[in-house]
Amino acid sequence: MPSRLTPSSTAAAPVLSASPALADFSARLIAWQRQHGRHDLPWQNTRDAYRIWLSEIMLQQTQVSTVIPYYARFLERFPDVAALAAAPLDDVMALWAGLGYYSRARNLHRCAQAVVELHGGAFPASVEALAELPGIGRSTAAAIASFAFGARATILDGNVKRVLARVFGVEGFPGEKRVENAMWTLAESLLPSNAGNAEVSAYTQGLMDLGATLCMRGKPDCERCPFAPDCVANVSGRQRQLPAARPRKAVPTRRTWMLVLCDGDAVMLEKRPPSGIWGGLWSLPEAADEAALAERAREFGGDGAVSPLAPLTHTFTHFKLDIEPRLAELDRAGGGSAVLGDAETVWVPLRNIDAYGVPAPVRKLLDGLQGSLI
DNA sequence: GAGGCGTGGGA
DNA sequence: TTCCCAAGCCT
């Protein structure tokens, strides 16, 4: 239990400005978690590695309240890893639609198949083996290993980074490699020694609970925190400065034209490439400008008329997207539904959009269409 | 190893 | 409105 940690690099500025003597960090955290932590989340109170894994993947960069309904739908549809592995990827994408970061869904499916084919349908118990699986990194592997198998391994997610930065006064932006490495080392050093399964689970859950329910970014509830007397941020009044904020950068704006090609109450969707934004989802055909979109409409069998719909904007983490939707009708007299090019397309009645994995803003657009147009 | 990758909600 | 980013991983 280092009461004083220093960064490995001698040239770099010190990561820690101070360090409280917290030899009993884990004991205090476990005691706090048992009395004040969360115990009734849908993925708690189980040792089923499948359920724990599913929740951890969904919770990556995603808040608890957002995950809960998705988690319930997934479990109902795919009660075990074999069911998920056997399902078509398209079905997985459809259930994931709206949750974001769609590479998680593709990796989820690949991971289920790897567990079935490489591990006989049972998740491996070690952090190292877990981290070999698609979509499972160092932190998620530790979460699964500790919750499902009682492994003594530390997580390092946004909650933990915030807690460590404040309690131990870790300087620097945690997204920076040097800072993150120091936090991994610190987190490892804080693990409870000689802990049983229950203690390990309570410790890991306690890290998350403390960050999520007390040590929040905006208004940390320091008065209820078990580490308040020793917390560098609390003692020095620097809760707002720790952890250091991400360096600012301007987000670019992109513009795209989307084709709403209708045949009665059905609309044409096009499958997006497996990687990149909205990878693997079904979306509206796009073009870089108005003329190019009109050309695509003709290729798909449109009757030549293209009318504007209300534009919308969608903000991603790293850019803003202005969407210009254009409505066109299929030319039935002209032989219609010919689809040129090699893109995979499908005609879907608006009421059946749910069966396809559609990006959130496109889904919103089509929902509005169903109410106003037909 | 720096940047790509969604969405919704809070301040 | 605008900014920030939440139970991170992959390339």
Residue A13 domain flag: no
CATH code for the domain in which residue A195 is found: 1.10.340.30
Residue A248 domain flag: no
Among A204, A236, A268, the domain-final residue is: A236
Query: Residue at minimal CA–C1' distance from B5?
Result: A101
Do the beta carbons of residue A359 and residue A278 sit within 8 Å? yes
What's the pLDDT at A194? Answer: 86
Query: Residue at minimal CA–C1' distance from B3?
Result: A318
The CA–C1' separation of A40 and B11, in angstroms, is 28
Residues A203 and A350 in one domain: no
What's the pLDDT at A19? Answer: 52
Do the beta carbons of residue A224 and residue A174 sit within 8 Å? no
Instruction: Per residue of chain A (374 residues), give pLDDT as tens.
Output: 333 333 333 234 445 544 555 789 999 999 999 999 999 999 999 999 999 999 999 999 999 999 999 999 999 999 999 999 999 999 999 999 999 999 999 999 999 999 999 999 999 999 999 999 999 999 999 999 999 999 999 999 999 999 999 999 999 999 999 999 999 999 999 999 988 999 999 999 999 999 999 999 988 999 999 999 999 999 999 999 999 998 888 889 999 999 999 999 999 999 999 999 999 999 999 999 999 999 999 999 988 889 999 999 999 999 999 999 999 998 876 554 555 556 799 999 999 999 999 999 999 999 988 766 54
Residues A134 and A33 in one domain: yes
Separation of alpha carbons A29 and A17, rounded Å: 22
Domain that holds residue A176: 20-236
Residues A90 and A222 in one domain: yes
Do the beta carbons of residue A215 and residue A43 sit within 8 Å? no
Residues A272 and A306 in one domain: yes
Residues A198 and A72 in one domain: yes
pTM here is 0.92
The CA–C1' separation of A150 and B5, in angstroms, is 32
Residues A210 and A258 in one domain: no
Do the beta carbons of residue A314 and residue A277 sit within 8 Å? no
DSSP string, A38-78: ---STT-S---HHHHHHHHHHTTTS-HHHHHHHHHHHHHH-
Three-state SS for A193? coil
Contact residues for strand B with beta carbon within 7 Å: A 61-63, 65-66, 97-103, 176-177, 218-219, 276-279, 314-318, 359-361
Residue with tokens 């930065």: A165
Among A236, A266, A288, the domain-final residue is: A236
Residues A270 and A197 in one domain: no
Residue A139 domain flag: yes
What's the pLDDT at A120? Answer: 97
Count of domains for chain A: 2
Do the beta carbons of residue A260 and residue A369 sit within 8 Å? yes
Active site residue A56: yes
Residues A135 and A27 in one domain: yes
A364: the nucleotide nearest its CA (via C1') is B7
Residue A275 domain flag: yes
Residue A272 domain flag: yes
Residues A83 and A208 in one domain: yes
Separation of alpha carbons A320 and A230, rounded Å: 42
CATH code for the domain in which residue A355 is found: 3.90.79.10
Residue A3 domain flag: no
> Which one, of A139, A138, A135, lies nearest residue A207 by Cα?
A139
Residues A227 and A260 in one domain: no
Residues A160 and A263 in one domain: no
Residue A81 domain flag: yes
Do the beta carbons of residue A117 and residue A126 sit within 8 Å? no
Residue A2 domain flag: no
A247: the nucleotide nearest its CA (via C1') is C4
The CA–C1' separation of A13 and C8, in angstroms, is 26
The CA–C1' separation of A291 and B4, in angstroms, is 29
Residues A215 and A351 in one domain: no
Instruction: Enumerate the nucleotides of strand B whose atoms come under 7 Å of any protein CB.
Output: 1-11
A101: the nucleotide nearest its CA (via C1') is B6
Among A180, A208, A236, the domain-final residue is: A236
